[in-house]
Amino acid sequence: MCSAGRRWGRRQRALLWAVLLAAWEAAWGQLRYSVPEEMPKGSFVGDVAKDLGLQLPEMSDRGVRVVTEGRAQYFSLHGKTGHLVIAERIDREQLCESVQQCVLRCELIVEGEMKFYEIEVEIVDINDNPPIFQEAETELRMSEMTALGARFPLPDAHDPDSGRNSLQSYELSGDEHFSLAVQAGPGGDQRPELVLAKALDREEAAFHELVLRASDGGDPARTGTVRIRVTVLDANDNAPVFSQAEYTVRVPEDVPVGSVLVTVTATDSDEGLNGLVKYSFKKKKTSSQIFHLESETGTITLGRSLDFEQGDVYQLDLQAYDGGALYDTAKVVITVTDINDNAPEISVRSALSEISEDAPSGTVVALLYVQDRDSGANGEVRCSLDKNVPFRLQSSQGNYYSVVTARELDREQVSEYNVTVRAADGGSPALQSSAVLALRVLDVNDNAPVFLEERYSARVAENNAAGALVLTVRATDADWGQNARVRYRLAEGRVRGAPLSSYVSVQAETGALYALRSLDYEQLRELQLWVRAEDGGAPALSSNVSVRLQIVDENDNAPQVLYPPPASAAAGSGSGSVAAWSCVELAPRRSEAGALVAKVVAVDADAGQNAWLSYELAKATEPGLFRVGLHSGEVRTARSPLARDAARHSLVVLVRDHGRPALSATATLSVVLAESVAELLAELGSAADEAALPAEPAAGLTRWLVLAVAAVSCLFVAFLLLLLALRLRRWQRRQLLPPESGALRGVPVSHFVGIDGVRAFLQSYSHDVSLTADSRKSQLRFSAGSSCDTLPARPLPDEPAPLLGDEVPASGPPVDPAALPQAQPNTDWRFSQTQRPGTSGSQNGEEAGAWPNNQFDTEMLQAMILASANEAADGNSTLGGGNGTMGLSARYGPQFTLQHVPDYRQNVYIPGSNATLTNAAGKRDAKNAAPAGGNKKKSGKKEKK
């Protein structure tokens, strides 16, 4: 019971050690198997997939393979089963001749994971080799005088098997004179010796035949034999004797071939042939092919190069024999020392050829195996990488190294790497080797397109052809391939209520921007849009750029005459040639040179130089009588009218812009020279008669003319009475004002420029008389030869007050007009330079005025008309004509709409005089008093008449 318990305890301990060993091997990623030698190809070694926990689909996808360093590939991995199988016949005696335990090592490389596992396979010996003697027969020479018990070494057998399959015993048979003795050598080997058991007698037997048998411990056992022939010689008293029983020599592995390594010596005391000593190898081994022994001298020389890595210790068995067949044995041990003659070897077990630029730091790109066949310091290897590369070496188990990324990669900076791995040993001098890893960086869409310019702008001439190229935007992407393919498109937007895509389009591949329609500067001055560049990555990256298209004006609009209205508009209410006289300007015959007669107002829808207008007199009935301001369009008298000048004049004014080529328009003015209403009516009547003579009989023309003149006269008288009543009513109201009104006493409210500024503005451009004589269904307008100033002075007491002029004081002595204070214009009348509208008028004179622009302030004109209409509704003002009104009944008739109303805020002129009121304060203050007084005086005299 006690012995059984002790045996069970031993088994438990053995099992525990086995479990611990398996756990240690698994922890270090090692597998260990054993397999007998001489197994056929495809024999099962071990289930690698199961032991490592690898799935069969993963093994095929990750590229699992078995690598054996420096030897034939004895093992392979079965892809379908994951088993480790034998790939080549394994002969343990060939692989591990002098090693007791034969172990083959290999590595399992998992390329997909950049991992490796070490596998050890122990080759188990089988009894496939019998003990073998080097020679089948050997001969011994013995003197008949040899003493009993003398020992003679016999050739030993060699069995390459191991363990019990190796040599176990010797047996001798054949003769009673000899016996066998087996001695144990220093290494535990068995050395057979022949022992003389019975005295020899050459005369009885000159030869003895013996058989030496060697047996191993296999089952069944294998044996080997050698025949021994013993020759009995006459007496030879002394055998040779070596000076040393064992010679030890240390030589470097790079010793030259033919060098003397050692010389052995043996002496024999006999003389003659029995004292002549010769040397030979006792056993013919592999070492005897490397070294050469001189039989006469005992010198051992090197027969071929030594290699420490193939063998570091050699043992030679020598014997010295004399002529009498007596001999002695000795051993020579040659130790080879290592030198640094092997450079480190770098083997790339697994490596990536491509890596994504967004791979995280620490990604394994290569698995290297580094070794040096030298020993000691000569075999110590240090590995390194080139500097300035985003990789580093990481030591793994054993001689394995991993090349991993040290930081994130950027393909846009470096797209390919040739990483050089260098290995140097610790010898002196050190030997080096290198290996190059080629690695291509795959692109990731991490760069958005970048436009070549921060913003784009282009100038496009209006009236362009549809589909015209405007400009080309271009963006570049630092990525590669599809990620760098840039496409362009317009950002969504609307222009004047229409989609932006109806105006322009962008070519997706080239970035060319095209205009889809003809652009008009007068409708659209500039176009702001955004162009987006988008690459082909997933997800796509994009960037925007601002594009500004400026429409350049072209001279495609001719000047448009606002006043006088075109002949077609004037003739809308009449027929025949009388329409040509529908808009008549009155010029007094007593006008001085430079007196303002009329003003041609024109605008141009273009801009810049294309809208700069100039005026010239193209045709006139009397060429030297009138002239036109080049920039103002004001028609003035060039000289005083003479008695011989005709009463009716037709003027054709040419309005031309400054475009290239220039465009023009014409305006026709009818001017009548008259001093009184009767003269004007007579002149107009004669014109009507002349126009009607070809169409009607004389009696009908006279009848209608008389009726027309009578009707006009009645209307005119009634209107004058109405105006006189209104003025008397207003004068009575003003009498209620306190007399201490200062400098404003006696000045009517209608002449102030301020809250009632529009009324004063209208009064500043008015005719004394505005009548309508409808003899032939035509609108006729004429004016007196003078008008009131914007702020007229009080008239003289002896002069009658005009119908719509300043009121005369009720009582008081006559006052000199020069002594009365001149009322200052209200500052609200002044306009800044930026507020001046851009009609065709001069600012500071006829020739030196600034060029106009094409803006037309319709809102101010509408306010003027509304203000005048309010006055008429309240009864505080008149619209029928008279001194101080604008004559809206005739000049702004029903056919004269707002778009025909000229802007007179720049030039307020007085017909019949050479004075022009402007918005320049300095000019107004300097020139306002004298002309106004003169004009007022003339007006008074005319009304007295």
Comparing 12-16, 420-424, 864-868, 932-936, the range with the smallest average pLDDT is 932-936
Q: Is the preceding peptide bond at 220 cis, omega within 30 degrees of 0?
A: yes
Q: Which of 391, 392, 393, 436 is nearest to 414 (CA)?
A: 391
The CA distance from 205 to 233, in Å, is 11
Residue-level length of the chain: 945
Bridge-partner residues for 7, per DSSP? none
Amino acid found at 317: D
Three-state DSSP at 715 gives helix
DSSP string spanning 894-919? TT--GGG----SS-EE-BTSS-EE-S
pLDDT band at 913 (very low <50, low <70, confident <90, very high): very low
pLDDT band at 689 (very low <50, low <70, confident <90, very high): low
Note the pLDDT tens digit of each residue in 62-71.
778 888 876 6
The pLDDT score that the predictor gives to residue 700 is 65
pLDDT band at 894 (very low <50, low <70, confident <90, very high): very low
Show Cβ contacts of residue 321 under 8 Å, excluding neighbours closer than 6 positions: 240, 277, 278, 280, 327, 328
Which DSSP state fits 491?
P
Tokens of 817: 């007009």
Comparing 111-125, 629-643, 650-664, the range with the smallest average pLDDT is 111-125
Per DSSP, the chain holds a count of helices (H) and strands (E) of: 13, 55
The pLDDT score that the predictor gives to residue 901 is 38
Tokens of 905: 């805020």
The CA distance from 637 to 651, in Å, is 12
Note the pLDDT tens digit of each residue in 480-523.
999 999 999 999 989 988 999 999 999 999 999 999 999 999 89
Question: 3-state secondary structure string, 345-379?
Answer: EEEEEEECCEEECCCCCCCEEEEEEEECCCCHHHH
Q: Which residue has the higher pLDDT, 935 or 58?
A: 58
545-550-551-555 Cα dihedral, nearest 10 degrees: -160
Mean pLDDT of the chain: 75
Q: Which long-range contacts (CB under 8 A, 24 or more apart) does 854-859 make?
A: 854/603, 854/604, 854/605, 854/606, 854/607, 854/611, 856/603, 856/903, 857/903, 857/905, 858/898, 858/899
Which DSSP state fits 496?
T
Q: Which residue has the higher pLDDT, 803 or 239?
A: 239
The CA distance from 416 to 439, in Å, is 6
Amino acid found at 901: V
Q: Which of 715, 767, 708 is nearest to 586 (CA)?
A: 767
Please give the helix or strand (H or E) that residue 867 lies within, else none: helix 858-874
- Residue 885 above 80 pLDDT? no
The pLDDT score that the predictor gives to residue 9 is 55
Note the pLDDT tens digit of each residue in 435-487.
999 999 999 999 999 999 999 999 999 999 999 999 999 999 999 999 999 99
The pLDDT score that the predictor gives to residue 299 is 94
Three-state DSSP at 729 gives helix
Note the pLDDT tens digit of each residue in 361-385.
999 999 999 999 888 888 899 999 9
How many other C-beta atoms can be found within 10 angstroms of the C-beta atom of residue 624? Answer: 9
% of the chain at pLDDT higher than 70: 69
How many other C-beta atoms can be found within 10 angstroms of the C-beta atom of residue 921? Answer: 12
The CA distance from 855 to 875, in Å, is 34
- Residue 606 above 50 pLDDT? yes
Q: Which of 651, 634, 629 is nearest to 580 (CA)?
A: 651
Please give the helix or strand (H or E) that residue 384 lies within, else none: strand 381-385
Cα–Cα distance list, 779 to 566, 614, 772, 893 (Å): 14, 29, 6, 9
What is the arrangement of strands in the sheet containing 291-293, beginning at the earlier edge strand?
A: 260-263, 299-302, 291-293
The CA distance from 425 to 370, in Å, is 11
Tokens of 296: 């006469």
Comparing 194-208, 804-818, 857-871, the range with the smallest average pLDDT is 804-818
Bridge-partner residues for 527, per DSSP? 549
R_g (Cα) of the chain, nearest Å: 68
Note the pLDDT tens digit of each residue in 215-246.
998 888 999 999 999 888 766 667 889 999 99
Q: Which of 402, 398, 478, 494 is nearest to 445 (CA)?
A: 478
Note the pLDDT tens digit of each residue in 69-110.
766 788 888 878 888 999 888 888 888 877 778 888 888 888
Q: Is the dihedral of CA 862, 867, 872, 877 positive or negative?
A: negative
Comparing 202-206, 654-658, 680-684, 697-701, the range with the smallest average pLDDT is 697-701
Show Cβ contacts of residue 278 under 8 Å, excluding neighbours closer than 6 positions: 295, 296, 320, 321, 322
Q: Which of 615, 613, 936 is nearest to 788 (CA)?
A: 936
The CA distance from 694 to 713, in Å, is 27
Please give the helix or strand (H or E) that residue 4 lies within, else none: helix 2-27
Comparing 265-279, 385-399, 632-646, 929-943, the range with the smallest average pLDDT is 929-943
Q: What's the rounded mean pLDDT across residues 742-762? A: 39
List for the chain the helix, strand, coil content (%; round to 5).
20, 30, 45
Tokens of 468: 């015209």
Q: Is the dihedral of CA 368, 371, 376, 380 positive or negative?
A: negative
The pLDDT score that the predictor gives to residue 923 is 37
Three-state DSSP at 665 gives strand
What is the arrangement of strands in the sheet containing 115-124, beginning at the earlier edge strand?
A: 30-36, 115-124, 102-110, 64-67
Comparing 202-206, 233-237, 424-428, 839-843, the range with the smallest average pLDDT is 839-843
- Give the global pTM: 0.52
The pLDDT score that the predictor gives to residue 234 is 66
The CA distance from 693 to 673, in Å, is 23
Helices (H), 286-402: 287-290
The pLDDT score that the predictor gives to residue 855 is 36
Q: What's the rounded mean pLDDT across residues 612-620? A: 93
- Residue 524 above 70 pLDDT? yes
656-659-662-668 Cα dihedral, nearest 10 degrees: -20
pLDDT band at 677 (very low <50, low <70, confident <90, very high): low
pLDDT band at 540 (very low <50, low <70, confident <90, very high): very high
Q: What's the rounded mean pLDDT across residues 601-629? A: 92
- The two most distant CA atoms of the chain are separated, in Å, by 206
Q: Is the preceding peptide bond at 661 cis, omega within 30 degrees of 0?
A: yes
pLDDT band at 815 (very low <50, low <70, confident <90, very high): very low
Tokens of 899: 């778009």
Q: What's the rounded mean pLDDT across residues 128-155? A: 86
The pLDDT score that the predictor gives to residue 286 is 67
Q: What's the rounded mean pLDDT across residues 567-588? A: 53
The CA distance from 932 to 790, in Å, is 8
The pLDDT score that the predictor gives to residue 18 is 53
- Residue 308 above 80 pLDDT? yes
The pLDDT score that the predictor gives to residue 255 is 92
The CA distance from 427 to 342, in Å, is 10
The CA distance from 480 to 410, in Å, is 12
Note the pLDDT tens digit of each residue in 632-645.
999 999 999 988 88
Q: Which of 576, 647, 633 is nearest to 601 (CA)?
A: 633
